[in-house]
Amino acid sequence: MGPAVIIEPSPDTPLVWFDISIRGGASADPIGIEGLHRHAALLARRGAGTRDRAALDETLDSLGASLDIAVSRDSVTLSGLALSRHLDAVIGLAADVLADPLFSEEEHARLLRETPQVLDEIRDDDSALATRWFDWQCCPSHPYGRTSLGTEGSLLRIDRRSAIELWKREVVANNLVIGLAGDIDEATAARIVQRLTERLPRGNRPTTIVEETGLETEGRSGRRLILVDKPDRTQAQIRVGHLALRYGHPDTAAIAIAEAALGGMFSSRLMQEIRVKRGWSYGAGCALRRSRMPHWFEIWTAAGIDVAGPCVALTLELFADYAAKGPTDDEVDFARSYLVGAMPFHVATARQRMQLAVRDTVFELPQGYTAKLPESLAQLTAADVRAACARHLRPEDTVTVAVTTAASAQEALSQAKAGPLTVVNHDEY
Amino acid sequence: MTMSWQLEAEASAGRGVTARRWRMSNGLGLISAVDRRAPIVALQTWFRVGSRHERPGATGMAHLFEHLMFGQTEQLPPGEFDRLVERTGGESNAATWVDWTYYRLSLPARDLELGVKLEAERMQHLVLETGPVESERDVVTNERRERVEDDVDGWLDEQLMAHAFTQHPYRWPTIGWMEDIRALALPDIRAFYRTWYAPNNATIVCIGDFDEDHLRELIAQYYGGITPAQLPEVPRIVEPEQTKERVVRAPKPIATDRLLVGYKAPGQDDPDWAPLEIVSTLLAGCPSARLHRKLVILDESASSVDAQLTPFRDPSLLRLAVTCARGHNADEILQTIDRELTSLIEKPPTAAEVEKAKALAETDFWSSLVDVDGKAEALGHYETALGDFRKLDAIAKRLTTVTADDVARVVRTYLVPTKRTIVIAEPEDDEGEDDEPEVEGDGLAPAPGIDA
């Protein structure tokens, strides 16, 4: 056993990209210590091997390189970009971050002071704020309902020792998915994988990673509406959705067609009804969140505050009608044609192909799952798609989040038939 | 039909890719480059018209076309343009900025002819009637609410340009002032279309998997019959030299102070643009950058700092954007910025520091050429804003020649308080305040107000 490795050579530019995904991610944060994975990952990037944070930054920048850490619900990913002539040096630094991070006391304390300010920035951004509230409220008992950033309360419970232990436990060779793309050949790639993993423990993948168990039955609680009250808004940022299926479920291809027809294109129903016919919003769309476990089916739009209530009502009516009747035959044909034709754009560059393959591996999907979806799409009938809609779309169990000014929008939103309305302050989460 | 083309220029556009500029007899430009690494094409149509070509009172006109151009034409009923593109799996979009507007199609290679046909149709046969114009006007007002009225960064950006420029058209926002968007009249909209949407004001940029001779045949077939327009002479407006610092402040529903500073800077084709680009990187363009290290890491007085040298044809701004940390304010940050700029003059960067910025610029350059859309966008920008797609390579080469002395010189010349405009958004108090900006400076009137 060792890491899963994906290599996509391409000499188009003198650049090499690498993604090193560590399975786990924020969904594996202990309850009450939300934000621990993010904290550990960012701390690891702030000094490693013989270099403190300043020296590591300086060395990377001098090489024209970048080394960034991102935390998703399912993984922590160390992403690098290097000029190919400096690849060895950059890989050496990445290997230090993986195997020998300093986890300095000083940086630990600084990061704990910094993170609440990221919360401030989210509260200043209505769209990000709507997404944060929706993620929390959509299905609070779901691991994806826990914030990857943390809360002001959970951050107080993060200690340096827990971060170090998490890193040691999860950064083992068997738990990595390594992708390399760009100006690199197979032999060099093999040598680089060896360098990245040679100092890592050979232990088993950790058992703390959340397993999928019975999640699809959760979140059936009727409609609810959360009005996130923020002063001086001229619009409402709106999210509507519910817990749905896992990306990789046998109905994934059918739901991909349903998603495209409802809100994945400009020609889709939501865009046509909300933007084109009524001019209520700059845009409207929907998507099934792609993740390892069942995740949200989510509709989004942003309507002028004077039409926020009618816009939520219309969105729910459209969704209910769609769930009951599904897309028409023409809509299915059109969406299928779009999705099949669009695939070459998703795999046009070596970096795209590598990142898709890394994501599929983290999601524990068969090799080439996403790239082969067009084959599954081609076999579906309109009846298959409508049956999948009936199975997975649940308009009576939607959670609606609207970030707007309550004094102006509350009355109309309360009449949107979105369920009991709760008003919360924009800075309380 | 290929006989009607003239080859004007050619240059490398990345490894193994050669871009060529052709000109048709009606003035239409074409930049083509074959890249067969994926069975797709990027087909972009760049028009030399942006918000700078508007007039006060009718701002937002160029951007409104970014919406209208997807509507009905003589041959296509409403919505058909998008349906035809999406049925192929392709995507369409558009962007408007100060110097240009461009329309982007990403298509499977087999559908290149469809793309050429659609673009030629909307260049000459757009139907501009009350119904669709009013519908798109509503959409644009909502776009503006989302990007400006309810977005503090959008508000800062708009106020900066409105106060940094007193004469030049860069002073109004590309999306337009809300009252202007609402007032744009149908006859003026039609006149704008007839004036600027013409082959002799456009360059088609096509990158991807196609045969170049066939592409020129297609373009000649669909565009060959379009007559050139009489393009108006665009007056050259020179912004008067700024001699005094300008400051704008307003309360906003935010957690901490936001600060946006714009220093007057030359246009992208000026020889000083390259050293200023290096300065931008050294100040806030990477994790080890001076201001980032000082403000975010050492002092912890800011949660983020960003620098950007705007790539405009005429003189514009080097911008520093800072989000203050809790317990710190914009005035304190400004003092630190001034100290760091003084330090950059008194102790010029080492050769190693300049080399660092050059290495990062090299990575950025190649990153912009990774896919066909990126290549087309880079070539289209340089061709349309600066008049020659080969400036992409020329400016990248200029960056490699910058010295530490150049850096100190441009900091001394440009990054001085009298040449800067400062916009500060401050948290509202609990009572809620009137958000009308408070302006200090050399006789400035407030910019058109925020639509509530």
A72: amino acid identity, one letter: S
* Residue A136, min C-alpha distance to chain B (Å): 21
CA B368, B373, B378, B381 torsion: positive or negative?
Answer: negative
State which fold the A4-197 domain adopts.
Cytochrome Bc1 Complex; Chain A, domain 1 (3.30.830)
A142-165 pLDDT tens trace: 999 999 999 999 999 999 999 999
pLDDT confidence of A141, banded at 50, 70, 90?
A: confident
Burial class (CB in 10 A: 0-12, 13-18, 19+), B213: exposed
Considering B191, B223, B255, which residue would you say is the last residue of a domain? B223
Q: Which of B37, B90, B432 sits opposite A341 (nearest CB)?
A: B90
CA dihedral for A155, A161, A164, A165, sign (positive or negative) = negative
* pLDDT tens digits, one per residue of A71-116: 999 999 999 999 999 999 999 999 999 999 999 999 999 999 999 9
Would you list the DSSP string of B383-442? HHHHS-TTHHHHHHHHHHT--HHHHHHHHHHH--GGGEEEEEEEE--TT----PPEEESS
List the one residue out of A281, A166, A182, A175 whose CA is nearest residue A235: A281
DSSP class of residue A234?
S
Please name the residue of chain A whose CA is at the shortest distance from the CA of residue B293: A54
**pLDDT at position A246, please?**
95
Q: How many domains does chain B have?
A: 2
Q: How is residue B294 annotated by DSSP?
A: I
Question: Residue B450: its pLDDT value, please?
Answer: 33
pLDDT confidence bin for A140, thresholds 50/70/90: confident
Nearest to B42 by CA among B380, B392, B389: B380
pLDDT tens sequence across A250-292: 999 999 999 999 999 999 999 999 999 999 999 999 999 999 9
Domain-embedded: residue B230: no
- Residue where a domain terminates, one of B162, B189, B223: B223
Domain assignment of residue B325, yes or no: yes
The terminus-to-terminus CA distance of chain A in angstroms comes to 42
What count of residues does chain A have? 429
A-B C-beta contacts closer than 8 Å: 194
- CATH code for position B306: 3.30.830.10
Using a CB-CB cut-off of 8 Å, the residues of chain B touching A116 are 326
H-helix or E-strand spanning residue A320? helix A308-325
Which token pair is A132? 């944060």
Alpha-carbon distance of B391 to B271, in angstroms, equals 12
Strand duo A75-83 + A66-71: pairing: antiparallel
Å from B26 to nearest chain A CA? 33
The answer to whether residues B201 and B229 touch, using CB atoms and an 8 Å cutoff, is: yes
CB B88 within 8 A of CB B370: no
Residue A210 has pLDDT above 80, yes or no: no
- Topology agreement, domain A4-197 and domain A218-425: yes
pTM: 0.94
Cβ atoms of B386 and B268 within 8 Å: the answer is yes
Q: B383 in a domain, yes or no?
A: yes
Q: For residue A218, what pLDDT is reported?
A: 52
B351 within some domain: yes
The set of residues, in sequence order, having a beta carbon less than 8 Å from that of B195 and lying 6+ positions away, is B229, B231, B232
Q: Which among A156, A120, A6, A225 is positioned nearest to B303, based on CA atoms?
A: A120
- In DSSP notation, B27-86 reads S-EEEEEE-TTSSEEEEEEEES--GGGS-TTSTTHHHHHHHHTTS-BSSS-TTHHHHHHH
- Residue B345 placed within a domain: yes
Task: Say if residue B211 is in the same domain as residue B290.
Answer: no
Distance CA B408, CA B413 (A): 9
pLDDT > 60? residue A324:
yes
Q: Which of B252, B423, B250 is nearest to B333 (CA)?
A: B423
Q: Is B12 helix (H, G, I), strand (E, B) or coil?
A: strand
Q: Is residue B241 part of a domain?
A: no
Q: What is the distance between the alpha carbons of residues B47 and A13, in angstroms, rounded to a whole number?
A: 29
Q: Would you state the pLDDT for residue B430?
A: 66
- Do B287 and A60 make contact, defined as CB atoms within 8 angstroms? yes
**A423 vs A212: which has the higher pLDDT:** A423
Assigned domain for B339 exists:
yes
Give the distance, in angstroms, between the CA of residue B174 and the centroid of all CA atoms in the same chain.
9
Chain B nearest-CA distance from A269, in A, is: 12
Please judge whether A83 and B363 are an interchain contact, meaning their C-beta atoms are less than 8 angstroms apart: yes
Percent of chain A with pLDDT over 90: 94
- Per-domain boundaries in chain A: 4-197, 218-425
Distance of CA B151 to the CA centre of its chain: 19
Residues 6+ apart with CB under 8 A from A263: A269, A270, A271, A284, A285, A286, A287, A299
In the predicted model, is pLDDT for residue A216 greater than 60? no
Same domain, B118 and B168: yes
Which conformational region is residue A244 in: left (phi greater than 0), alpha (psi within -120 to 50 degrees), or beta? beta
Q: Which of residues 220-249 of A touch B (CB under 8 A)?
A: 230-235
Q: Determine the pLDDT at residue B443.
A: 46
Based on the fold, state whether residues B35 and B99 are members of the same structural domain: yes
Instruction: Note whether B149 and B254 are same-domain residues.
Output: no
> Do B128 and B87 belong together in one domain?
yes
CATH 3.30.360.10 corresponds to the domain A218-425: no
Amino acid at B25: S
Residue B2's pLDDT is 44
The whole-angstrom distance between B433's CA and the closest CA on chain A is 10
- Hey, CA dihedral for A317, A318, A320, A321, is it positive or negative? positive
Question: Which residues have a Cβ under 8 Å from the Cβ of A85 and sit 6 or more positions away?
Answer: A14
**Between vectors from CA A399 to CA A396 and to CA A403, what angle results, nearest 5°?**
140
B275 within a domain of the structure (yes/no)? yes
Per-residue pLDDT, B439: 80
pLDDT at A209: 59
- At residue A205, the pLDDT reads 80
On whether both B311 and B418 belong to a single domain, the answer is yes
B146: amino acid identity, one letter: E
- The reply to whether B337 and B418 lie within a common domain is yes
> Of B223, B256, B273, which residue is a domain's last?
B223
Phi, psi torsion values for A290, nearest 5 degrees:
-85, 115
Name which of A195-209, A305-319, B75-89, B410-424 the model is least confident about.
A195-209
* Averages of pLDDT over each 10 residues, chain B, 452 residues: 80 94 97 97 98 97 97 96 98 97 98 98 97 94 96 98 98 98 98 98 98 98 96 94 97 97 98 97 97 97 97 97 97 97 91 96 96 97 98 95 95 96 92 68 50 29
Q: Which of A298, A79, A72, A82 is nearest to A182 (CA)?
A: A82
Same domain, B214 and B255: no
Q: What is the mean pLDDT of residues A385-398?
A: 97
Residue A382 is encoded by which pair of tokens?
């309109």
Same domain flag for B129 and B91: yes
Smallest Cβ–Cβ distance between A124 and the set B139, B254, B361 belongs to B254
In this structure, the answer to whether residues B57 and B177 fall within a common structural domain is: yes
Identify whether residues B263 and B200 lie together within a single domain. Answer: no
- Test B326 with A230 for CB contact under 8 angstroms: no
Residue corresponding to tokens 């990575």: B363
**CA–CA dist B412, B399 (Å, integer):** 19
Q: How much is the ipTM here?
A: 0.94
The predicted structure's pLDDT at residue B423: 98
Query: Within this chain, do residues B250 and B205 fall inside the same structural domain, yes or no?
Result: no
Nearest-angstrom CA–CA distance, A56 and B382: 35
Burial of B421-444, coded b for 16+ CB within 10 Å and e otherwise, reads bbbbbbbbeeeeeebebebebeeb
Range of the domain at B301: 246-440
Partner residue facing A344 (CB), from B16, B108, B289: B108
Tell me the pLDDT band of A202, cut-offs 50, 70 and 90: confident
Phi-psi region at A103: left, alpha or beta (left = phi > 0; alpha = psi -120 to 50): left
Task: Tell whether the model's pLDDT for residue A69 goes beyond 60.
Answer: yes
What is the arithmetic mean of pLDDT over A374-387? 97
Average pLDDT of every residue of chain A: 95
